[in-house]
Structure 1
Amino acid sequence: MAGLKKYKVVLLPLVFTALLLSGCALQLPPEGGPADTAPPEIVASYPVPGQINYGEDYAEIEFSEYVEKRSLKDAIFISPAPEEGYELNWSGKSVRIEFKKPLKENTTYYITVGTDLVDYNNRNKMAKSFNLWFSTGEKIDRGAISGNVYDKNSEGILIYAFLYEGDSVNIFDNKPLYVSQCGESGEFELKGLRDGKYRLIAVRDNFRDYMLQMGQDEAGVTFTDPVLSAADTLFSDMNFFMSSTDTLAPEMQSAVMTDRNHVLITLNEDADRKSVQSENFTVIDSATLKSYKPVFSYLQNGNGKNLVLILNDPGLRGDSVFLKATGLKDIKGNTLNEASINLTVSDRADTSVTTISSVLPSDRLNLSNDYPELTVIFNTGITPEEFAGRVAFTDTSGNRAESETVREDDVTYKIKITQKLESFTDYELTADLKGLAGVNGLKADTILTFPFKTINQLNLTGLFGKLTGIKDPAGKRLVLEFKDDPQIKYFASTGQNGEFEFDKVKPGKYFLWFYDSPGEFNPGSVFPFRFSDRFKFYKKEIELAPRWSQTDLIFDLKD
């Protein structure tokens, strides 16, 4: 067969019988020696990439080593999809892809073997996708689209390319015309695309059905619909962030009283903290026709799936008690308009005493001295008036720092320091809880102190540079994201000529990325459909050393 060696394996009868008796597969890993960590590769194909006038009813691929046959079924994508599909027939390290019906005339086909393919010995994955394109006619479609998916687990995510029909495109009821798969670092490439306008969707296809399943698959969108033509055959930097496609309202799965005053509600997904308000819940005793409103409501230990309501010991009994929720939202904004669930009651005594569960940031030895924010989380509800009179942030001489308090929910308060603090100086957060009574009447008898130390400003660093490769570089946003903790981010806006600066930055390794908007980043949405802001990551990781700012960095968007 042209371009591909054929292997003919002859087994002696005695050897074949021994293999059958031992139950061994014909693909055997080598014995001894160092562990195999090399990813499988494709070393030959038929046809060769770019071949025209191809008239066979099959294609063939040869691997560098034995691979798991079943893994190829999840890793191979053929675009456009052959009519009535195909079959895979193996011979040693080679596989023949036999099309059940002849391929269409004058059509460019694109076969991708993605990174879900693993070798037989140690299940090493393909390092990057392999692409084979050929045409049944006299020319190859030359359109190509490339980019990256940025996600903590981007490997294996599929890129769907839907071709517009006239002015419309349907991404929900149709399978994509072309499919590719992300490599280990999230990169992807689609080649051999015909001219036309495309909508691209990145999908974590959990069912491998090549259909976007709302509420089940995560998905991402990019900033535009690329249009391929003879004059414009290449689009790059089509980048994605992934997000949930949830369109369903949250559901209450259970409601249980853990004692006379506390109700624990379990949801099927994370709730939006802002919608967890006491007025959104009602406890109804259908035997007495009485209803009760919670005194407090909040997320249990910050877990959005577990909500806690605090009642004022209503003395509930029996199995005719229900909990009604209204206006409860998930983090995507889907709203539970109204729902009720049976409430399992308890007459167990409430012995809890008010205390502080945690204080953030947890790193108390490196507190920023530039208007830092502290978060105080209690184990039970506390009113803003009680908080203001009992919690203070001071230096060690007792001088109170200027601050504002923001109630995030009934147990969580944020203290925003509105003045600059001294560098490398000791401070403390003090909570005088003496005499503070909970709904059960039990009073706390403690003063809690949490010591902090501001960071040594001499150890801070910075990044200064210029954004280039864009027609109008002014007013663009840049994000400096800490590699080990993506929650740590610094933001900057470009000046008139694209210049930017990040000052007083914690030393460490960072990712730098830009987005084309003056405000908050818009990741876009699959439904209702909304393009994302254009964004791009700087090509390399940036390491910022203590006490030494990096200057003159050029972030070229054309690079």
Structure 2
Amino acid sequence: MIIRTILFAILSLIIFGRCAQTVTPTGGKKDSIAPVLIQSIPVSKTLNFKGDRIELFFDEYVVIDNINQKLVITPEADNPYSYKLNGESVVLNFKKKFKDSTTYTLNFGDAIKDFAEKNPAKNLKIVFSTGASLDSGRVYGTLRDVKTSKPLFDALVGLYNISDTLNIAKQKPYYFSRTDSSGRFSIENVQIRKYRLIAIEDKNRNMLYNAKDERVGFLNDSISAASDSVSYSINMALSDVTPMKIQRTIPKVNNYTVVFNKGVEKANVSFTTPDTLPYILENSQLKFFNLQPHSDTVQVKLVVTDSLGTDSTFNQKISFMPQRGKERQRDPFSMTVRPEQNKPLSNNFSYFLQFSKPVALLDTNSITLISDSLTRKPLKEIPHEWNKFHNQLTISGKATSKDTIKWEFPKGSIISVEGDTLVKMLMKHPLLNEEDYGKLTGTVLNIDSSMHVIVELVDEQFKVLKTSYTYPYKFEYIPEGRYYLRVTLDRNNNKRWDSGRFDEGKQPETILYLPDKMLIKSNFELNDINISVPK
């Protein structure tokens, strides 16, 4: 009987033990309520605060998330602190007292969150003064990218003390704020006096301007921070004012490449020795080609222009690697076309050929334009023009096609400076059907007749589709889709947008957008789409 009882007890434990496995409870409402600050020491807007400790008390357990990055203290205190989390409270212990007679703002952003669902405390900010009154000045406004007109999020907007030696690459702002997702900023409780208002993208959050890859925006004149301050609008632009440098060189047997630290808009090469070499410009690189005979070292003077129009001069020795073996291994010779193969082409066309090397020979008799396999016209009868480096050919002309346009390039019709050629190629393009595309016409209003403009149609990714340097403008062959229309006020008539220079107080050239995105439909024309220039 005893044995039977023991066996029954063991069996019961096994059965009911399996039934009692731990499971995650289901149901229950998710906590979506942010923690609420119920008390702070000091209380916000306290006067004559002399302490070095800040305490915050919440209505629930909280956690701290990257407070060293997210806590913004203005004016910049240069006062290191440590922090401690005690369940429902957070304590900040500062290394030293705060500066006398100064109003401080501690903006915590989303650095403090509830324990369960990580909901951040909203609008968590403490303001106190170490003097007898709170500063009441305020500066607010919006930031936008000048090229896209889109608001900039999390950019740094600073008030700087006015100085003849102000260098935002080395000096942090006295007061600052960061923009929200709508590009809005507000700097509050500042001393009422004059400042320089400057915004930087501040990607690395070090509060210093890095001209290489950070956008900047500024007002030329100083501003007065007052309690009834006006709203400021600042346009941001990338303006790389770093000096042009030769970053490295790449010597090979067949070519020698000079690589610069940023993009090159123009390049002029003067050979200071009797020898000359063919060369091409590719973005930030100048590539020289090794054509015998020449001396072991070729001396050149390089004058390169960056996107800001700044010229830089370099004296460079071109020295190729010695050849090993009887045969030289050449880089491939290639050609790309625009429009691309199988893309529609109009009978009234502009056609672009891009080569990987300078071209020494172009046989305009054998290269042929073919309309519907019936009409053949040699390139010599069609207007065409080389670029400076002889590696890009622009062809502008007319075809008589009703269906297909072809370009025939026989083998040997194009020979590079290195003596290599291309295989036989046949580029086919269907005839562009006008009914598949839309049209757009309009003008620029309220503009001085002496002002030059650039009218552009850009897609939703701000890629330029059509450009006109005159107005009224007319854009044809627009694929169906949604587009923006914008106008650049081209101050110096160089037919490109200039980004300005902070170091010289030059604002970026103004870009105006039509307020609404346009829907362009196939076989449809939009007329009188005008942009007005504010007076």
TM-score (norm 1): 0.67
Structure-2 change in CA distance of 1:196 and 1:477 (3 Å): farther
Asked if 1:298 is matched to 2:280, the reply is yes
How much has 1:39 moved relative to structure 2?
12
Determine if contact 1:255/1:344 at 8 Å carries over to the other structure. yes
Asked if 1:81 is matched to 2:76, the reply is yes
Determine if contact 1:354/1:436 at 8 Å carries over to the other structure. no
Asked if 1:254 is matched to 2:246, the reply is no
Determine if contact 1:158/1:181 at 8 Å carries over to the other structure. yes
How much has 1:240 moved relative to structure 2?
1.0
How much has 1:225 moved relative to structure 2?
4.1
Q: Can you give the 5+ residue segments of structure 2 that lack an aligned partner in the other structure?
A: 1-23
Structure-2 change in CA distance of 1:211 and 1:418 (3 Å): same
The residue aligned with 2:287 is 308
The residue correspondences of 1:23-42 to structure 2 (distance < 5 A) are: none
The residue aligned with 1:178 is 175
The residue aligned with 1:149 is 145
The residue correspondences of 1:64-213 to structure 2 (distance < 5 A) are: 69-70=65-66, 72-91=67-86, 95-104=90-99, 107-112=102-107, 132=125, 134=127, 136=129, 137-149=133-145, 158-165=155-162, 169-183=166-180, 187-192=183-188, 194-206=192-204, 208-213=205-210
Distance 1:525 1:202 in 2: 13
How much has 1:327 moved relative to structure 2?
1.1
How much has 1:487 moved relative to structure 2?
3.9
Determine if contact 2:136/2:227 at 8 Å carries over to the other structure. no
Determine if contact 1:223/1:238 at 8 Å carries over to the other structure. yes
Distance 2:441 2:349 in 1: 23
1:471-507 deviation line (CA, Å, top 9, x unaligned): 9999676543212461434458777xxxx87665332
Match of 2:478 among 492, 497, 505: 505
| Aligned residues with identical type, % of pairs | 13
How much has 1:55 moved relative to structure 2?
5.2
Asked if 1:456 is matched to 2:426, the reply is no
The residue aligned with 1:405 is 385
The residue aligned with 1:344 is 321
The residue aligned with 1:361 is 339
Asked if 1:426 is matched to 2:427, the reply is no
Distance 1:199 1:45 in 2: 35
- Root mean square deviation of aligned Cα: 5.2
How much has 1:403 moved relative to structure 2?
3.2
Distance 2:439 2:33 in 1: 42
Distance 2:459 2:482 in 1: 6
How much has 1:450 moved relative to structure 2?
1.3
Distance 1:242 1:432 in 2: 45
Distance 1:54 1:60 in 2: 18
Distance 1:403 1:40 in 2: 71
Structure-2 change in CA distance of 1:252 and 1:74 (3 Å): same
Distance 2:124 2:488 in 1: 30
Distance 2:442 2:108 in 1: 40
Count of matched residue pairs: 486
Distance 2:258 2:32 in 1: 43
How much has 1:391 moved relative to structure 2?
4.6
Determine if contact 1:508/1:544 at 8 Å carries over to the other structure. yes
Distance 1:65 1:501 in 2: 63
Which structure is larger by alpha-carbon Rg, 1 or 2? 2
How much has 1:148 moved relative to structure 2?
2.1
Distance 1:373 1:45 in 2: 70
Asked if 1:265 is matched to 2:260, the reply is no
Asked if 1:544 is matched to 2:520, the reply is yes
Opposite residue 140 of structure 1, the aligned amino acid is S
Opposite residue 246 of structure 2, the aligned amino acid is P
Could you say what secondary structure the match of 1:488 adopts? Answer: strand
Structure-2 change in CA distance of 1:381 and 1:402 (3 Å): closer
Opposite residue 453 of structure 1, the aligned amino acid is P
Determine if contact 2:35/2:119 at 8 Å carries over to the other structure. no
Distance 2:227 2:514 in 1: 28
Structure-2 change in CA distance of 1:472 and 1:308 (3 Å): closer
Distance 2:388 2:470 in 1: 28
Determine if contact 2:266/2:306 at 8 Å carries over to the other structure. no
Opposite residue 337 of structure 1, the aligned amino acid is F
Could you say what secondary structure the match of 1:398 adopts? Answer: strand
Could you say what secondary structure the match of 1:309 adopts? Answer: strand
Distance 2:242 2:476 in 1: 38
Distance 2:220 2:461 in 1: 31
Could you say what secondary structure the match of 1:414 adopts? Answer: strand
Could you say what secondary structure the match of 1:73 adopts? Answer: helix
Asked if 1:329 is matched to 2:304, the reply is yes
Opposite residue 198 of structure 1, the aligned amino acid is R
Opposite residue 200 of structure 2, the aligned amino acid is A
Opposite residue 178 of structure 1, the aligned amino acid is Y
Determine if contact 1:82/1:103 at 8 Å carries over to the other structure. yes
Distance 1:473 1:124 in 2: 59
Distance 2:165 2:245 in 1: 29
Opposite residue 255 of structure 1, the aligned amino acid is P
Distance 2:57 2:489 in 1: 42
Opposite residue 287 of structure 2, the aligned amino acid is V
Determine if contact 1:114/1:181 at 8 Å carries over to the other structure. no
Could you say what secondary structure the match of 1:428 adopts? Answer: strand
Distance 1:68 1:51 in 2: 20
Structure-2 change in CA distance of 1:197 and 1:412 (3 Å): same
Determine if contact 1:425/1:453 at 8 Å carries over to the other structure. yes
Structure-2 change in CA distance of 1:448 and 1:205 (3 Å): same
1:134-180 deviation line (CA, Å, top 9, x unaligned): 45324522221322236899976633424352777443442112333
Structure-2 change in CA distance of 1:483 and 1:341 (3 Å): same
The residue aligned with 2:506 is 530
Could you say what secondary structure the match of 2:458 adopts? Answer: strand
How much has 1:197 moved relative to structure 2?
4.1
Distance 1:267 1:93 in 2: 57
1:214-235 deviation line (CA, Å, top 9, x unaligned): 5x55332356446245496133
The residue correspondences of 1:548-559 to structure 2 (distance < 5 A) are: 548-549=524-525
How much has 1:381 moved relative to structure 2?
2.2
Structure-2 change in CA distance of 1:524 and 1:438 (3 Å): closer
Opposite residue 276 of structure 2, the aligned amino acid is K
Distance 2:72 2:401 in 1: 58
Distance 1:226 1:525 in 2: 17
How much has 1:64 moved relative to structure 2?
11
The residue aligned with 2:6 is none
How much has 1:119 moved relative to structure 2?
8.6
Greater mean alpha carbon deviation, residues 531-540 or residues 172-181: 531-540
